[in-house]
Amino acid sequence: MATCKYGGGAFAPRLRTMNRLAFLLIPVLVLGMLVTQPASAADHDTAQKAAAPDLHPLLVSASELEGSFAEIQHYVEAGFIYQPNLSFSAQVTACGTEDTDWRAVVSGFADADRAFAFFFGKAEDVLREQKALARLVPTESAKSLSKQKIAALQKDLKTAQGRRELASITKKTLDDIAGKVSGNKETLRFLGGHMYGAFVERLYVTSIMVLAAAEEGTLAPLHNVRIGTFSRIHDVLTAFGRDNCLGSSEKSPQRLKTVQKLGRLVGTGTHKPTLADLRKVVEICQDVRDSFMQ
């Protein structure tokens, strides 16, 4: 186990549940979560003029998504396991006073932690992460799954058929989001901040788990994992950063520098990160997380 010192008809209900699970796993917020963010008068005036950053790098094929879900087994074989002490959710209390930028980025942390809980934890772990996300984005409560449904879906994803169904629904969801994201700047900044938070949290937890696997000599299964998804998300975040939309306009430029620095360490081309690179990744991500501690 990798622990680390670093830190209509019978099919219809099932289809609806799988559809809700797709929202749980995709790397961006569903549109319904975004439109709840109020637009300022200035943003409203320019909403028709602003062009949304290109989300098309995220539009992978259903077969690629299915392959990504299948690759989760490689992480399991390497010893990956959900660890509550690595989650940011303990820092998420009842919200209301935090500003929009804080909620955007921290909801990204929570979204990433929820996915880790789903793939590597128990149903009760996913429930805990769901509650943290719902505190940040109340509209998520409507999409929360029961403990029984989560457990059934976790079991389902161990089958080829289950992965195939989820991949198909996830692709349709991503296609829909990419086609409907508004050019409203406030909406885009919330989305950009959220994706930035999810990006940082995924790198933080994954790097810690890889370092733990290296310590325990269980790295071999990870040689079969592709990094194409990382490159795509990195490209989207870079586009958001160039449009000054990685959260608040004041903080976005520095966040773009962080994304670029992490990209160089992890590699978006032929570069293979070393363990030393991953230790630097953990340090950078830890600094980002610390800046959002309440």
DSSP 234-270: HHHHHHHHHTT-SSSTTTHHHHHHHHHHHHHHH-SSS
How many CB atoms sit inside 10 A of residue 205's CB?
26
pLDDT per position as a tens digit, 208-218: 999 999 999 99
Is the per-residue pLDDT at 31 higher than 50? no
| Residue 252 exposed, middle or buried by CB count within 10 Å (0-12, 13-18, 19+) | buried
Would you say 172 and 61 are in contact if contact means Cβ atoms under 8 Å apart?
no
Q: For 96, which DSSP code? A: S
pLDDT per position as a tens digit, 114-147: 989 989 999 999 999 988 888 888 776 656 788 8
pLDDT of residue 96: 52
For residue 72, give Cα distances in angstroms to 54, 125, 151, 216: 27, 17, 16, 19
Would you say 185 and 37 are in contact if contact means Cβ atoms under 8 Å apart?
no
pLDDT of residue 220: 87
pLDDT of residue 57: 61
pLDDT of residue 97: 52
Least confident of 6-20, 159-173, 239-253: 6-20
d(CA 176, CA 38): 22
pLDDT per position as a tens digit, 173-199: 777 666 666 667 888 898 899 999 999
d(CA 168, CA 145): 20
Q: Which of 287 and 38 is assigned the larger pLDDT?
A: 287
Instruction: List CB contacts of 63: < 8 A, sequence separation 6 or more.
Output: 167
Q: Which of 274 and 50 is assigned the larger pLDDT?
A: 274
pLDDT of residue 72: 85
Tokens of 44: 């409203």
Would you say 188 and 182 are in contact if contact means Cβ atoms under 8 Å apart?
yes
pLDDT of residue 268: 62
Which residue is listed with tokens 């989300």?
A: 55
d(CA 209, CA 121): 14
Would you say 52 and 182 are in contact if contact means Cβ atoms under 8 Å apart?
yes
Would you say 28 and 55 are in contact if contact means Cβ atoms under 8 Å apart?
yes
d(CA 66, CA 86): 27
Cα 162 from chain centroid? 21
| Residue 96 exposed, middle or buried by CB count within 10 Å (0-12, 13-18, 19+) | exposed
H-helix segments, the chain: 11-25, 31-34, 41-46, 62-77, 100-120, 123-136, 147-156, 160-180, 185-216, 228-242, 252-266, 275-290
Would you say 83 and 3 are in contact if contact means Cβ atoms under 8 Å apart?
yes
